[in-house]
Amino acid sequence: MESLLRQLKTLRNTRPDPRFMARSRQELLRAPHHGSAGRFYYSQIKWRFFEGLSFSVAVGLAALLVYLSAGLISRGVQTKVAQDEPRPNFSISLEEAEYYKEVAPNIFVVVLGDKK
């Protein structure tokens, strides 16, 4: 057992190549660093907040655009209808009323009132 333990201790002589260590160290220290856990979480929260905010603003603007577009379209349609169609004339001449008297007694009463 003692011999085995001595042999195991000699495995401590295993060492990395100094060139590897130098190269690895240089690359590591150039890598991005997040710092303390607090700073890391703060940066994540800040990033997520602004990302969410920009998304909400984008959705709101899109909804406003759709609403304005729908409003403009419907107003345009109404204007066109008003221009194209003449104002209806509901006045009826007495001659027409006499005719309608025979055909539609109820209408005669409504239009001319009580002329008896």
Query: By the criterion CB under 8 A, which residues form the site for another protein?
Result: 1, 3-5, 7-12, 14-17, 20-21, 24-25, 27-29, 31-40
Q: Nearer to another protein by C-beta: 14 or 106?
A: 14
Q: Judged by CB, which is closer to another protein: 13, or 93? A: 13
Q: Is the dihedral of CA 24, 30, 36, 37 positive or negative?
A: negative
Q: How far is the CB of 64 from another protein (least distance, A)?
A: 42
Contact 112, 97 (CB under 8 A): yes
Residue 94 neighbours by CB under 8 Å, 6+ apart:
112
Query: For residues 35 and 86, which CB has a smaller minimum distance to another protein in the complex?
Result: 35
DSSP 8-state symbol, 13: G
